[in-house]
Chain A
Amino acid sequence: MKEKILEVDGLCTQFRTERGLLKAIDGVTFDVYRGEMLGIVGESGCGKSVTSQSILRLYDEKRLVKYSGEIRFEGKNLFELPMKQMRQIRGEKISMVFQDALSSLNPVFTVGNQIVESLRIHRKLSRKEAEEKAVEMLDMVGIPDPRRRFYQYPFELSGGMRQRVMIAVALACSPRLLIADEPTTALDVTIQAQIMDLIVDMNRRMDMGVMLITHDLAVVAETCSRVIVMYLGQIVEEGSVDDIFDNPAHPYTRGLIEAVPKMDGDRSRRLHQIDGTVPLLSQIPSGCRFAPRCPYASERCRKEMPELKTISATQKVRCHCVTEEQGKEA
């Protein structure tokens, strides 16, 4: 195995609300290795974005959240770092690409200046050097005519171009970890394909770890090597892409995969549907969180919360029924 660059250990993120603490993330543990693409999948409210924001400690800790657990990056627990050092890590060692490129770029600065700024915060570069490097970055993310684009404002670019600029800003300081939070959700399929190709290409060229957060299983299947499936603030399944797509063990993972229409699927069949809806965080069921929507749920599932157990060298799953079911399949 390659070296671990990020270790998340028992992460809990609780939001302070009027009715007390609300646990959005409940004991999430995973590692990110150098040079890998890790997909984090789940539906809205599953905590995949909160996880990524927690890694960078982006929430207001005084008023909004309470963190517990550990996030180790380069041997340091990020939760113990003073804010000043945390700011140095953000953007330089760990950077982030958001879904909405238009609101994530500052509308009153040219795109070139935003890359220059990111460079000058973290690297001791002269203005001239930073500009050279910025043009180089724009060229690298596939923006045609980078010298002219340097002086354009975000609103002058198309959605795909803006997302490329966002990636250029994020990669300017050669981070060790890139967190991409739904980077292509707002884009059309043809543009989405280009942006995902770019992220995969950058991941190979810069040998950095990439955490791809998305609800789109197809994108994960095409690009990632490892996948984490989340439901209601917990990891329900973790494994290699082949594990997850060929041999999904958790009923939720299976439901998700089957609910997506396939391009070569049988059109006369009804889509598999997961009944019910994701409960609110304030109404989390006791026992297995998926039990109320699970077709296999037993009395035990409703009472006792299953642990995340290892079922093969690469695969972990949080389900009481998993061993029996695997027997069935074999």
Chain B
Amino acid sequence: MRDAVLKTDLHGSFSGGAEQQVDMEQLRKSLKKEQRQIRIRKFTKNKASVFGLIVVCLMIVLAVGAPLICRYDPLELDTVNRLKGCSAEHWFGTDTMGRDVFARVLYGARISLTVGFSVGISAGVLGMIMGLYASTNKIADNILMRICDGLKAIPSTLLAITMMTVLKADIKNVIISLIVVNVPSMARIARSQAIVVKEQTYMEAMRGLGASRSRMLWKHMAPNILSPVIVQVTFVFASSIITEAALSFLGAGVPAPAPSWGNILNEGKGVIYSAWWMVLFPGIFTVLTVLGLNLLGDGVRDFLDPMSS
């Protein structure tokens, strides 16, 4: 073979290597392990994102394990024990109808996290698709970006409230309206990154190899625009938890008996002077989760990036 001849002609530190018999499968595994270790080391070096990860995981555990942790049903009325303060019985006290606030906050986490997660992921995926297409097609770019500009011109909470008044107030519609609100900024970020990536020489090199458009879009551009999108996803995750709370607080979110952090806050606002616990605990949970998610974002980006920092 021509290559066999050539090998011997390459001097220096490169020569000899090619003749070596290497077990590729074993090599692949050991390198994969090594690369994973590097990523984990990179992630754990950032103490803030480790803290974020712990907080978010804790929230998820609490939300999922709510039935096991709570002794009370979040909807169970107990009119005798109305507005009781913190005690061994009711850790976070009880609300205006005697429901256990601890249970309501944990069950509320289910709704809040569901909303945040669905909105973050859906807006991320949709925004990425829109951004990618906009970066490669001038007509699609004009149409999509003008729609995004139009949506961004309306304050997002206002837009969400308007949509909720038109739609039936339930969790599905809250998610839909929050996706609509958040997609434009996501698409913008994806598009601007895609434009940068499109101009890189490796995209040209792929074209030179005869790669099809969809291969270039999904195999090469998508992974390279992922980092900023992921960071934005965590922001959207966090901000939709807040917006959902705001919507519920204004009575335009998840309908009343179901506990969401916004709902609990809403009910607590009338009795804030006598029953501070109704506002404080859902408030702390909201702030912690949002903070945790924001801190996590940077760490996730570093983790996904193969390049060492």
In-complex A–B contact (CB below 8 Å): yes
In the bound assembly, the distance between CA atoms of A275 and B45 in angstroms comes to 36
Which residues in A have some Cβ–Cβ distance to B below 8 Å? 18, 273, 275-277, 292
A-B residue pairs in contact (CB < 8 Å), sample of 5:
A18-B45, A273-B11, A275-B14, A276-B12, A292-B13
- Closest CB of chain A to B204's CB: distance in Å? 22
Specify which chain A residues have a CB less than 8 angstroms from the CB of B12 in the assembled complex: 273, 275-276
Residues on A with C-beta less than 8 A from B13 are 275-277, 292
Tell me, in angstroms, the Cα distance from A276 to B11 when the chains sit together: 9
Which residue on chain B has the smallest CB distance to residue A292? B13
B1-46 interface with A by 8 A CB criterion: 11-14, 45
Task: Tell me the bound Cα distance from A300 to B45 in angstroms.
Answer: 40
CB of A295, distance to nearest CB on chain B (Å):
10
Beta-carbon nearest neighbor of A277 in chain B: B13
Docked pose: A92 CA to B88 CA in angstroms: 75
- Other than the given A18-B45, A273-B12, 7 more pairs (CB < 8 A) read A273-B11, A275-B11, A275-B12, A275-B13, A275-B14, A276-B12, A292-B13
Q: Which residue of A lies closest to B309 (CB)?
A: A18
- Cα–Cα distance between A276 and B14 once the two chains are bound (Å): 7
Contacts of B14 in A (CB 8 A): 275
Q: Give every chain B residue within 8 A of A292 (Cβ-Cβ).
A: 13
List residues of chain B with CB within 8 A of the CB of A273: 11-12
Task: Tell me the minimal C-beta distance from B180 to chain A in angstroms.
Answer: 40
Q: A277 vs B12: C-alpha distance in the bound complex, in angstroms?
A: 10
4 interchain residue pairs of minimum CB distance: A275-B12, A276-B13, A276-B12, A275-B11
Nearest CB to that of A18 among chain B residues? B45
Minimum CB–CB distance from A111 to chain B (whole Å) comes to: 30
Nearest residue (CB) in A for B10 is: A275
Q: What's the Cα separation between A275 and B10 when bound, in Å?
A: 10
Least CB distance from A242 to B in Å reads 31
Which residue on chain A has the smallest CB distance to residue B9? A270
Bound Cα distance from A93 to B257, whole angstroms: 78
A282 to chain B: closest CB distance in Å? 12
Give the distance to chain A from B40, nearest Cβ to Cβ, in Å.
16
Interface residue ranges of B96-118 to A (CB < 8 Å) = none
Per-residue 0/1 for B187-200: is the Cβ within 8 Å of any A Cβ (1 yes, 0 no)?
00000000000000
CA distance A46 to B11 in the complex (A): 23
- Complex Cα distance, B45 from A18, in Å, reads 10
A80 CB, min distance to chain B CBs, angstroms: 35
Shortest Cβ distance from residue B195 to the other chain A in the assembled complex, whole angstroms = 22
A294 CB, min distance to chain B CBs, angstroms: 12
* Distance (whole angstroms) from the CB of A61 to the closest CB of chain B: 23
